[in-house]
Amino acid sequence: MASKAELFEAVSRTGRALGSGKRLELLDLLAQAERSVQELAEVAGLNVTTTSAHLQVLRDAGLVASRREGTRVFYRLAGPEVAALVAGLCRLAETYRPDVQAALSSFVMGDDMRALSRAELLEASTQGEVVVVDVRPAEEFAAGHLRGARSIPLGELAERLSEIPMDAEVVAYCRGRYCVLSHQAVRTLREHGRRAALSAEGILEWLGTEMPLDDASKRS
C-alpha cells in the first residue's frame, strides 16, 4: 500500500514538468490548437530536437497527448484542466511574486487600454454592445474561439477594417493574458479612429470555464 509520501512524490512529477518557461509556453500554444512538433518549434523559437524533448517531459507528466500522422507527430493538451492549471499558476505567480508583476506590467500591461473582465466581455457580447474580434492566426480560430467572435488575424486587421461597423466598439482578444496580439490590435484600431478595448483574458483562461467556446472544448 502506497504511503502519503509516495502519493505526494507521484503528484510532484507533474509539478516538475511545469518547471520550465518554455514548457509553459508550449502548453499555452497547445491551448490554442493541436500542433505538430515542427509547428511548435517554429512558433516557440526552438529547434525540433529541443521541442521534442520538452514535449516528452510534458507527455510523461500526463499534461499532453499525441498522435502520429505519417512521419509527423501532433500534440494537444490532455484536457482543458491543463489550461486551467497553467492559467492558475500564472495568476498565483502574479499575485505573490513582485518580479512577475513587474515583468507583466512592462510586457503586456503598460498601455493605457481599457480591459474587459470575463463577465464584462460576456455581458457586452451577449447584449450586442460590442464587436468581438479574435486576432489570433486563422488556424487557431478554427480550432476554437469565443462564440460570436469574428476572425481577423492581426496582420490583416488594417486591411479589413471595412468589415467592422464604424460606430461599433471593438473588443480584441488573443491567446491569453500573456499575448500581445490584442494590445497591438487595439493600437491599430485606435490609429484608424476606431473605439477599441481588449479582453483581460484569452483562450488559455477560458478553456473549461462557462465561456461559450465553439469547438475548443471538444479538442481533447
Element housing 9 (H / E): helix 4-17
Q: Which CATH superfamily is 111-218 part of? A: Rhodanese-like domain (3.40.250.10)
Query: Is 90 tagged catalytic?
Result: no
State the catalytic residue, choosing from 90, 122, 174, 197.
Answer: 174
Domains 4-78 and 111-218 alike in fold: no
* E strand segments, 139-193: 145-146, 150-151, 169-173
* Domains in the chain: boundaries: 4-78, 111-218
* E strand segments, the chain: 35-36, 64-69, 72-77, 115-116, 130-134, 145-146, 150-151, 169-173, 196-199, 213-214
Query: What secondary structure letter does DSSP report for 194?
Result: -
Percent of the chain with pLDDT over 90: 91
d(CA 75, CA 27): 10
Question: Would you say how long the chain is, in residues?
Answer: 220
Cα torsion angle, 7, 66, 141, 100, sign: positive
pLDDT for 105:
86
The third-level CATH classification (topology) of the domain covering 4-78 is Arc Repressor Mutant, subunit A (1.10.10)
Convert the pLDDT of each residue in 34-81 to its tens digit. 999 999 999 999 999 999 999 999 999 999 999 999 999 999 999 999
